[in-house]
Amino acid sequence: MGRLVSRLTDALRARFGDDILRRMAIAAVLTALVMGTVGVADPFYSPPEPEPVDTDGPPEQVALDALNATGTNDYRMDWITPCDQANVTRRDGGCVFLRYTVERSDREFDTDNGEGYFGSGPDVYADAVSATYYDFPEDPDRSRSRALNLWADADRLDRSDLAATLASPAVETTVSESNETIRLRTDNDTVASRLLGSSENAAPPPESFDANVTVAVDAESGWLRSITIRSDNGDETDWQRYRYDRWNDVTVERPEGTSRPILGWVFDAINREYRP
């Protein structure tokens, strides 16, 4: 590929000369940037249509569809963990470690991490092809941008993978419905360990590890409410909860004072992510 580009460049230089070739290159870059800016250079991408959940189906299918609906809808998600810390956002008997706001319709997300929350580190704003780290605890005036496709990592859970796992014959699940809530639960320790952050290919948890995962879904609307992991390793009991709300009622905006990297505009203009 490099040799082909070199030959093409030499041919253009021989025909038009260095000055004309330089002008053509500048014009091409400017065109790409302008097209990326106005968004006309993404003919291969269209935002996913928000897919509602069919609540007329069997409760288990409603719950699995609710997990998959996070891939096409906008939402807010709070990652909640136990803590006794003061001056942080509390919810469901714990502290909000991180808050994710995901606007899939515009391919944007924002992670609140730091002041007001239990997590530490910079907040993150990302669009389709770039990420900006801002509000560093050690330096509130510091902001750093880089062109990197982070869209697949809008938040830390792969719910489509969880849905496929819970639907697998190898994983036993129980389904219950009460108080307008559908609950899908598994006592599979390996599934729980993976959701707690262990690698999918990691060694199985020790025999002393005992855990369960519960998916809660609003039976009336079909929207996912929460995913809760409870664990006991023989010495202590722990839990984590991922709480979902504000379905299709969130707006993500680029934080004031941050900018998109130039390379991000170029990636978008040449359809790096979506070209067939």
Among 99, 109, 78, which residue's Cα sits nearest to residue 242?
A: 78
Low-confidence ranges of the chain (pLDDT < 70): 1-47, 137-143, 148-153, 198-204, 270-276
Q: What pLDDT is attached to residue 80? A: 95
pLDDT computed for residue 34 by the predictor:
47
Tell me the three state secondary structure of residue 179: coil
CA neighbor of 88 nearest in space, from 117, 127, 53, 54: 117
Phi, psi of 19 (to 5 degrees): -65, -50
Predicted pLDDT at 152: 60
Q: Which pLDDT score, from 0 to 100, does residue 276 have?
A: 45
For residues 185 and 43, what is the distance between their CA atoms, to the nearest angstrom? 42
pLDDT value at residue 129: 77
pLDDT at residue 12, as a whole number: 47
H helices of the chain, in order, are 2-38, 59-68, 159-167, 189-195, 262-269
26-59 pLDDT tens trace: 555 544 444 444 444 455 566 678 888 999 999 9
Structure tokens belonging to residue 199: 């690698």
pLDDT at 118: 86
What predicted TM-score, i.e. pTM, was given to this entire model? 0.78
